[in-house]
Structure 1
Amino acid sequence: MSTPAEFRVQIAGLTAQIAAHLAGRAPDAGLDAWLNAEHGPQSETYRALRASCEAGVAAGWLCDREGGGIRYGRIFKPADDLAGFSVDVVDMHDIAGPHHVHPNGEIDLIMPVDPDARFDGRPAGWLVCPPGSAHRPTVSGGRALVLYLLPEGRIEFTR
């Protein structure tokens, strides 16, 4: 079973690769394509992250809060060992979350629990939202876990 410390090491390896790939650029469609090609649902990275997230939810150290029908939690604040990213995981089932803006972008790993579940219309894999983008995160077609990487932990909820 995965622990928060093991999960942090796992995430740190990935965020280091993301930071190297971006080389100072903002998250964009190129990162989306690269993540899906290198770390998509067919990859060992995806399988390992999914297993860790499922174990963390089951053990209660991930998604340890609930609001408006969504289980969520920020497991790690932005840190140097995470290349400046914060790490959040949400557990959503046929629901739209609160509208928010991504000042520095957002990098999402979509892990459907139910086979037909989609996050913002996307199936299993990565979704990269560029800086300044906004959305009302929506899971349809069932239940999904979504891991969020936020540069500098920045997110702005709107009313």
Structure 2
Amino acid sequence: MDVHPNKQKLVGRAIDLFQEVQNLTPGKDLEARLNAEYGPGTPIYDDLCSYIRQGIENDEGWVATDELDGPKYRRSVVCRPSAETRFFSITTVYMASDEVYAGQYHQHPYGEINCVVQIDKTAELKGMNGWQGAGWTSPGPGTHHYPEVRRGRLVALFFLPAGRISYEATPEMPQPLAI
């Protein structure tokens, strides 16, 4: 069992967030709320970012360790859904590119919450509502996309309700009415 202190702290802080959002549905309204109430400069956001950055900078071996497309695109499951995490899974995805880089196309059956952790202050993650630097994205249920990064390195710290993600969607499929 991995008992790295920063990993444990990250899970504990994520649980604090889950207590706040457990009954809310991912989507543009939740994204706006997260950015307004839990964005950069707030204790939860700053702590989550700090633990991820320490994990990357110190090569602690738990942040985005599994290569998907070489060292520029990596992922690690931090924890699976459980009663303790209000049935959210926690995953880290490291992406790096000076230009736009797209990862694996996927769908969010129940939506997704992403904490954008900038390693480089210029890095941005593309959400359903456009490019996001430091802060949050929250694709709604049924949405699908390529995860995209530009202008540097970041970690998408993402939380999936019930741990649900699908790799069966294709780009030509219509998006749900409410994104």
TM-score, structure 2 as length reference: 0.81
Task: Give the unaligned 5+ runs of structure 1.
Answer: none
Aligned residue pairs, count: 155
Between structure 1 and structure 2, the one with the greater Rg is: 2
1:146 corresponding residue in structure 2: 156
Deviations 1:31-56 (A, max 9, x none): 11111111101212111111111122
User: How far 1:78 moved relative to its partner?
Assistant: 0.6
- Match 1:75 to one of 74, 78, 83: 78
Note the residue ranges of structure 2 that are not aligned, 5 or more in a row.
Answer: 171-179
Q: Could you list the runs of 4 or more consecutive aligned residues of structure 1 that deviate by over 3 angstroms after TM superposition?
A: none
Partner of 2:145: 135
1:156 aligned partner: 166
Higher strand share: 1
Give the aligned partner of residue 174 of structure 2.
none
Give the Cα–Cα distance (whole angstroms) in 2 for the partners of residues 113 and 56 of structure 1: 11
- CA distance in structure 1 between the partners assigned to 2:11 and 2:152 by the alignment: 28
Three-state SS of the structure 2 residue aligned to 1:3 is helix
Kindly state the Cα deviation for residue 30 of structure 1 after the two structures are TM-superposed. Answer: 1.7
Please give the TM-score of this superposition, normalised by the length of structure 1: 0.91
In the alignment, is the contact (CA less than 8 A) between 1:87 and 1:150 conserved in 2?
Answer: yes
Q: Deviations over 1:91-148 (max 9, x none)?
A: 1102211000000001001112112111012111000100000010001011111101
**Paired position in structure 2 for 1:62:** 63
Q: Determine if contact 1:2/1:52 at 8 Å carries over to the other structure.
A: no
Q: CA offsets, 1:54-90, max 9 Å, x none? A: 1223211121211213121011001111111000011
1:104 aligns with 2:107: no
Answer yes or no: is the 8 Å Cα contact 1:2–1:55 preserved in 2.
no
Query: Equivalents in 2 of 1:106, 1:80: separation in Å?
Result: 18
Q: Percent identity?
A: 32
Distance across 2 between alignment mates of 1:126 and 1:39: 9
Aligned 8 A contact 1:77 1:153 in 2: yes
Question: Which residue matches 1:125?
Answer: 135
